[in-house]
Amino acid sequence: MSAPQPKEVNAEDLAELKKRMKLIVDADPSQYHNDYSLKRYLRAFKTVDDSFKAILKTNKWRKEYGVSELTVDTPAVRTNLQSNKARVLRHRDMVGRPVIYIPAKNHNVTNRDIDELTKFIVYCLEEACKKCFEEVIDNLCIVFDLKDFGVTCMDYQLVKNLVWLLSRHFPERLGICLIINSSALFSSCWTVIKGWLDENTTSKVKFINSEEELCTYLIPDILPTDM
């Protein structure tokens, strides 16, 4: 399987966005975004004006949220790592995307701190993005493993937060989302979740029904057995 090519952006739009960003970066170097990042914003937000506004909002959010300060020693991160809520894998999928693995069975909506869990998800997204070879492919593979999925595993607020993060502050970072070991119980949940997604995002969600099908996206052996 070869890496899908991202939609090309208008060269004039990119040049104009870079020109606007230079004024910001000259005043504050921490506001820097490379060309790959600017292209992702243009693909997601369509116009130069909307892309520029979105970048400024993201930069403000990252600073206020303390994204750069999130580490394995951050209490919210350490607690959720120890609880095996998610993991950024060492190995990649078949086209070179970093993989975030999320075993739903380890989540209980009645026993979680949504703010801490959201901070942990931001940490996972950041760590996965750092592993991207942007010259080759700059998006991620997220795997939701629904083995032993129960009613208390379904956390609509957390899913909403993830959708918001991906659409507003990590635009065009989702390359594919694999749903494995799904069950009839999740079908009604998916009907709700699907209503929150645009057509482009929905097309990236794949329900995997066999190991053979999974092998077209990643080698099953890279998935953890200790979570």
Please give the Cα distance from 15 to 109 (Å, whole number): 45
DSSP 168: I
* pLDDT at res. 5: 63
Judged on CB neighbours under 10 Å (0-12, 13-18, 19+), 173 is buried
Listed in sequence order, the DSSP H helices in 66-155 are 75-82, 114-130
The reply to whether CATH 3.40.525.10 applies to domain 83-222 is yes
Q: How far apart are CA 126 and CA 106, in angstroms?
A: 21
Separation CA 164–CA 158 (nearest Å): 10
Q: Which token pair is 205? A: 């969600």
**For the chain, what are the domain ranges?**
11-65, 83-222
- SS3 string, 23-64, reads HHHHHCHHHCCCHHHHHHHHHHHCCHHHHHHHHHHHHHHHHH
In this structure, the chain runs to a length of 227
pLDDT at 7: 74
Residue 57 has a pLDDT of 97
- Taking each helix axis from N to C end, the angle separating 156-164 and 114-130, rounded to the nearest 10 degrees, works out to 40
Residue 1's pLDDT is what? 59
**pTM of the full structure:** 0.95
Full pLDDT tens readout for the chain, 227 residues: 556 666 789 999 999 999 999 999 999 998 999 999 999 999 999 999 999 999 999 999 999 999 999 999 999 999 999 999 999 999 999 999 999 999 999 999 999 999 999 999 999 999 999 999 999 999 999 999 999 999 999 999 999 999 999 999 999 999 999 999 999 999 999 999 999 999 999 999 999 999 999 999 999 999 999 99
**Chain position carrying tokens 């993201």:** 58
